Structure 1
Amino acid sequence: MKKTLLLLLSAALITACGSDTVPFGGGQSEELLVVGQTDQPGVTYNDDITSISFTQTNQVGDSTYFEADLDIDDNSSVDLRFTLIKWSDLQVLLLRGRNGVEIPFSGNEFEILENEAVIPGLSLLQEGTQINSLVTNYSTTEDGFVTYTRANSVSSSSNMAIWNNTVYLPYQAVSGAFTGWVGINIISNAGVQIDGIGIDVIAYKVTN
């Protein structure tokens, strides 16, 4: 039976603004990480990966699942996993950190009424934002809501920047060994069907 899904948004996804005065790590003298900036000392940058593609992984009733994996530290592991769920008139894009990589959540929730499922929203940053103590709620234990389309159009309550430009996802190690960010955007067919994820630059900084 075809499922009719409605997404109610308690608030739009964050495109957060960082503080200019609080260093990353809280009170330390080390230079702040700034998303989109590619010349910071002590940071390794990788722009060799230009995109990742979705592969179908499962079919459950009228729900089709696709996954696209990203290795952020070039050690042959899956560190970020994008999951795309498609129905006849709806797509939902989710993201989860894996292998000890945490990603931040905004505090907003997205509810799929029929399934009584609540999906937390990600914190996605604009270029130039400093990653500091205002970027919180890092986790590896749940999928985060990125964006969605419905009835062959991009919803006005989606994060529109990720469709039109690059947004930046902070990440950190559960162990505290590294932190960084990755620039991402939607690769779409006819502007509405999600076909892949564009990768701008991956920034990686060893912190201990």
Structure 2
Amino acid sequence: DVNELNVDLLSLAANTFYGPKGAAALYIRKGVRIQPLLDGGIQERGLRAGTENVPAIVGMGVAAEIAKREMASRILHLQELRDRLMRELPARIPHTILLGHPTNRLPNNVSVAIDYVEGESMLLFMDMDGIKISSGSACVSRSLKVSHVMLAMGISSATAQGSLVFTFGIQNTHEDVDRVLEALPPVVQRLRDMSPLYHKAMRARSGA
């Protein structure tokens, strides 16, 4: 509901709700003026010249209808996977911090920061095991600065380097969560075993 959201502009990409790539929609509130993306034709009310991709547009419409019809069941399925991963990951990997609110968050998103390891290293090992995840650490985003959002949340620069983001789709299952829970803890422990910072922190905790 664009009125409830109170937005002036809203873009929707078909592939984000399992429609065909190459189609998208843009809501423009009445009275909002924008410059044409492409000049030269009258297509799309003069805002984007060129022949429309009719098959993709139709596919987007069908995908939207299906998404609306299945929205409740999709959300429930994704929340089950999300909540299980959020619950079991910190239990299996000590010094794991959940980023964001525990319940007031997207149903398919789990974001954590794991102390004493780098996000890129975890990504490489998980990728070799066929598991695709992402990281918001500086080395992956190609930025020299740690995410200002994590810093604003009170996450230290060192901890932020170990951030991971898991996103689920409707095809994912509990078996996929099992794979993550089986694969990630040994990876983290292997990397921590090679980390002088980890050993120093453990000695400090034990009072040695």
TM value normalised by structure 2: 0.26
Greater RCO (Cα-Cα under 8 Å, separation 6 or more)? 1
Structure with max Cα Rg: 2
Q: Which has the higher helix share?
A: 2
TM-score for both structures, normalised by structure 1: 0.26
